[in-house]
Amino acid sequence: MSSSSFPTVGRAVVVSSYGGAEELRLAEVPVPSPGPGQVLLRVRAAGVNPVDWKIRAGLLKEFLPVDLPYTPGGEAAGEVVAVGEGVSAWAAGDEVLGPVAGGYAEYALADAAQLSAKPAGLSWEAASGLYTSAETANRVLDLLKVGAGETLLVHGAAGGVGGLVVQFAVASGARVVGTAGAANHDYLRELGAVPVSYGEGVFDRVREVAPQGVDAVLDAAGGALAGSVGLLGGPERIVGIVSVPEAVETGTRFTGGGEGESHGVQAVARALALHAAGTLALPVRAVLPLADAAGAHRLSEEGHGRGKIVLVP
Ligand SMILES: NC(=O)c1ccc[n+]([C@@H]2O[C@H](COP(=O)([O-])OP(=O)(O)OC[C@H]3O[C@@H](n4cnc5c(N)ncnc54)[C@H](OP(=O)(O)O)[C@@H]3O)[C@@H](O)[C@H]2O)c1
């Protein structure tokens, strides 16, 4: 292992049993050493995702089991402080972003091969929440195969995932209609999408703004799959990322990652190319201290807002 100096103990959020947000407690824990192929990061910011509170509440025990106690957090941005055996791509001091294990902490381990360099012009906060949204957006668009000139409908377009799907699709020449609350309509217009309010009558409103028809649908909000099958006349080009049972009931495709579908580093590169061109919008909804991880989860559980929630150690 090669490294700069780092302490043997650091602060981390620890969950000891499944339950409410009050289960997220700050503790002093040993700082782990990177194994072969791993990197140890000093976390500068950690992305908070809806899956984090779903895991904490015990809702995903069957799909994503965790060994209690555990530290939540699947993505972060930070500085490399140590690299494990066989890692030559990164060195102490490098600024990186990507998936991590236990990101709600001062120090976290990452798989060296899944990290990307953080551009100097991207804030730690925005960088920390990029990986999950970009990877999911890229995966969904690969499955939907939305071509230039086609029309994509995105339910939940103002969220972390929805925002990246809209921007990737617009950049590749697609027309995008996105559903969001009224407070996010101007934001969606800025991203290049046509905004539509969700709720009763949503599919009539979509037909009004897309009289040419809709070619493909992402449901990133949940609850919109059956109506989307009606809109398209079949389930073939509809992907859901929220509910497996809803996908099964409607004959649509659910994607949850893994299974060889994920190309996270390429997805981040796709987003960073937009950043380099000066066109990437990565709004940060809220930045909270590590000690208020419970507040971050409560905010995420509300399910409304624009962009990412971030924790800073
Ligand atoms: N399967 C996977 O691989 C995968 C990966 C990542 C995320 N996910 C899941 O995908 C979902 C979205 O994740 P995220 O990170 O984008 O969440 P997020 O950032 O919290 O965004 C949620 C968005 O949903 C919008 N919304 C709420 N109710 C809606 C409705 N009825 N119709 C349309 N939009 C609605 C909100 O916008 P307003 O403020 O305008 O209401 C908000 O912008 C979560 O359930 C998450 O667990 C799955």
CATH of domain 2-129+282-312: 3.90.180.10
- Give the orientation angle of helix 130-144 with respect to helix 160-171, to 10 degrees: 50
- The pick from 130, 135, 136, 188 for probing ligand 1's pocket by mutation, whose C-beta has the most ligand atoms within 8 angstroms, reads 136
In the numeric block, the tokens 């960073």 are attached to 272
Q: How far is the centre of ligand 1, averaged over its atoms, from the C-alpha of 84 (Å)?
A: 36
The dihedral of CA 27, 33, 34, 35: what is its sign?
negative
Q: Which stretches does DSSP call E strand in 147-283?
A: 151-155, 175-179, 194-196, 216-219, 238-240, 253-254
Atom of ligand 1 nearest to the CA of 254: 1
The per-residue pLDDT string of the chain (313 residues; one tens digit each, 9 = 90 and over) reads 666 778 899 999 999 999 999 999 999 999 999 999 999 999 999 999 999 999 999 999 988 889 999 999 999 999 999 999 999 999 999 999 999 999 999 999 999 999 999 999 999 999 999 999 999 999 999 999 999 999 999 999 999 999 999 999 999 999 999 999 999 999 999 999 999 999 999 999 999 999 999 999 999 999 999 999 999 999 999 999 999 999 999 999 999 986 555 589 999 999 999 999 999 999 999 999 999 999 999 999 999 999 999 999 9
Q: How far is the centre of ligand 1, averaged over its atoms, from the C-alpha of 221 (Å)?
A: 5
Q: How far is the centre of ligand 1, averaged over its atoms, from the C-alpha of 241 (Å)?
A: 9
pLDDT of residue 5: 76
Q: How far is the centre of ligand 1, averaged over its atoms, from the C-alpha of 39 (Å)?
A: 30
Reduce the DSSP state of residue 19 to 3 states and report it. coil
Partners of residue 194 on adjacent β-strands: 177
Residues 126, 94 contacting (CB under 8 angstroms): no
Atom of ligand 1 nearest to the CA of 309: 19
Partners of residue 154 on adjacent β-strands: 178, 218
Q: How far is the centre of ligand 1, averaged over its atoms, from the C-alpha of 40 (Å)?
A: 30
Q: Whose CA is nearest to atom 28 of ligand 1?
A: 221
Q: How far is the centre of ligand 1, averaged over its atoms, from the C-alpha of 36 (Å)?
A: 35
In the numeric block, the tokens 């799909």 are attached to 63
Question: Does residue 195 have a cis peptide bond before it, meaning omega lies within 30 degrees of 0?
Answer: no
Q: In CATH, which of 2.80.10.50, 3.40.50.720, 1.10.150.120, 3.40.190.10 is domain 133-254?
A: 3.40.50.720
The dihedral of CA 127, 131, 137, 141: what is its sign?
positive
- Domain range summary for the chain, segments of one domain joined by +: 2-129+282-312, 133-254
- Give the orientation angle of helix 264-276 with respect to helix 160-171, to 10 degrees: 70
Q: Which helix (H) or strand (E) holds 225?
A: helix 225-232
Query: Which of these, 119, 24, 52, 48, lies nearest to 308 by C-alpha position?
Result: 48
What backbone phi and psi angles, to 5 degrees, belong to 48?
Answer: -110, 125
pLDDT of residue 259: 54
Q: How far is the centre of ligand 1, averaged over its atoms, from the C-alpha of 267 (Å)?
A: 19
Task: Dig out the tokens for 173 from the structure.
Answer: 């020449």
* Gyration radius from the chain CA atoms: 20
pLDDT of residue 207: 98
- pTM across the whole model: 0.97
Residues 97, 77 contacting (CB under 8 angstroms): yes
Contact residues for 94 (Cβ-Cβ < 8 A; gap 6+)? 79, 80, 117
Q: How far is the centre of ligand 1, averaged over its atoms, from the C-alpha of 86 (Å)?
A: 38
Pocket of ligand 1 from Cβ distances under 6 Å: 49-51, 132, 136, 155-156, 158-162, 179-181, 184, 198, 220-222, 241-242, 255-257, 300, 303-306
Atom of ligand 1 nearest to the CA of 50: 47
Atom of ligand 1 nearest to the CA of 183: 40
